[in-house]
Amino acid sequence: MKRLNLPAYDFDIGTDDEGNTVIYDEIRRKYIRLTPEEWVRQHLVRYLIHDRGFPAAYTVVESGFQYAGTPVRADIIMHNRTGQPIMLVECKAPEISIKEVVFEQLSRYNTVIDARYLLASNGRVHYCCEHEVSGGYAFLPEVPVFEKED
Domain map of the chain by residue range? 35-139
Q: What is the pLDDT of residues 73-101, one digit of tens each?
A: 999 999 999 999 999 999 999 999 999 99
Backbone dihedral angles phi then psi of residue 46, each to the nearest 5 degrees: -65, -45
* pTM exceeding the 0.85 threshold for the entire prediction: yes
Tell me what pLDDT residue 150 has: 54
Q: Whose CA is closest to 59, among 89, 37, 100? A: 89
DSSP class of residue 99? -
Q: Looking at the domain 35-139, which fold is it?
A: Lambda Exonuclease; Chain A (3.90.320)
CB 75 within 8 A of CB 39: no
